[in-house]
Amino acid sequence: MTKNYLWMMVSILTCVLIACTKDGDTIYQPDPNEEKASTAPLVTVIYDANALGDQSYNDLIYEGVERVAQQYGLRTMQQSPRTYEEGLQYLELMFRQMETAKDSVRRLFIVASPGYDDFIRKNNKRLEANPYADLLYLETRTPLEGKGSTLFITYYGAMYEGGRIMATAESSSTLLIGANHQTPSVTEALQGYRDGFEAGLKLLTEKQASQNLLSEIYLDEMGSGGFSVADTTALQLLLQWQSEDIGTLVPVCGGASNTFSRMINTTLVDIGIIGIDCFYDSYYSLYSIVKHIDRALAQCIGQWLNEGTMPKHQTLGLKDGYTEVILNPTREIYIWTPQGYEGETAPLLTEEMKQEMHDEAVRKEAEHEKK
């Protein structure tokens, strides 16, 4: 009896561990101790061509996503294509995978560049077949038709505040540098700076205002580029601007901004530069105008995870704390007064003065958003 019982148990265990197909192929049951594929939510980011490494906007996105992933236990995939065409291939692959996925893994797909606008708007409805997939498209004011959310961080208010400070703080020429005319976030930022600068000039005497000049150029006059520049080209431009008595650069041009900053720090070019997108800790910079895209993404991913869905569209800005003007603590800013400007005899820009300019910029941004 005992022998029969033992033989029966051995037979049952053997059948559990080993089975055969009708063709006689042996199939082994998976090891219960073997590590299983993760089912944690997956966040995938597609950047513009060669965008990562700009030490600016795109690097902030990367760092922000990785911090949120660590906080919530998410998986991430961050794709930085070498060319625009390669970026389109990544996009097509991601859409195909997300629309055909049969599992219940939650997937968030973040498109970090408006350069893919046409493709996104033609393909986002493909995600409607997958209830576990979602899309977040950055830097656009126009909501998507069909599935997906959009996010726009307006730079108008922070740039207005920066221009307002510069108009009364410097007796030299300031050069606004835009990447191109085609990117709305760039043109809007430059408009904000111009408006703030002009508002500041109105508080000065005619003679004082005549010494504070503002000019503007675009690195790519005809296309949608201008977000990168070679070191040799940057140096040539800096030397040209120095010969034209340009005192300060305000570069709203992505990774090209970092190139100009680096060349100023490593050459004998004597030009000031305003930090854009992230804080620029250099003697050559009076202040930085920062876009906290990392904070904004943390909010959006949190909404996606905890509330199940993000708002269809969100516009964030100076009032919300997602843009900011940060003064360089190693520099003192002396400002013009109607009584004159004589070096250190002029009043310093105080926190109270800056707060007044900040409040003015918040109001102007709200007016701008209503237009």
Residue 334: the pLDDT is 79
Arithmetic mean of pLDDT, 321-327: 95
- pTM summary value: 0.84
Radius of gyration of the chain (CA): 27
Q: What percent of the chain has pLDDT over 70?
A: 86
Contacts of 11 (CB under 8 A, 6+ apart): none
| Burial degree of 38 (CB within 10 A; 0-12, 13-18, 19+) | exposed
Q: What distance in Å separates the CA atoms of residue 44 and residue 28, rounded to the nearest whole number?
A: 34
Closest among 255, 250, 322 to 285, alpha carbons compared = 250
Residue 142: the pLDDT is 94
Arithmetic mean of pLDDT, 213-230: 92
Contacts of 330 (CB under 8 A, 6+ apart): 281, 283
DSSP code at position 83: S
CB 313 within 8 A of CB 150: yes
Residue 36: the pLDDT is 62
Beta bridge partners of 366: none
Residue 267 has pLDDT above 60, yes or no: yes
Q: Give tens-digit pLDDT for 62-104.
A: 999 999 999 999 999 999 999 999 999 999 999 998 888 888 9
296-332: burial string, b at 16+ Cβ within 10 Å, e else: bbbbbbebbbeeeebeebbebbbbbebbbbbbbeeee
Arithmetic mean of pLDDT, 38-42: 88
Closest among 58, 31, 7 to 256, alpha carbons compared = 58
Q: Give tens-digit pLDDT for 161-199.
A: 999 999 988 667 999 999 999 888 899 999 999 999 999
Residue in the structure block whose two tokens are 């993760």: 38
Contacts of 57 (CB under 8 A, 6+ apart): 254, 277, 278, 291, 293
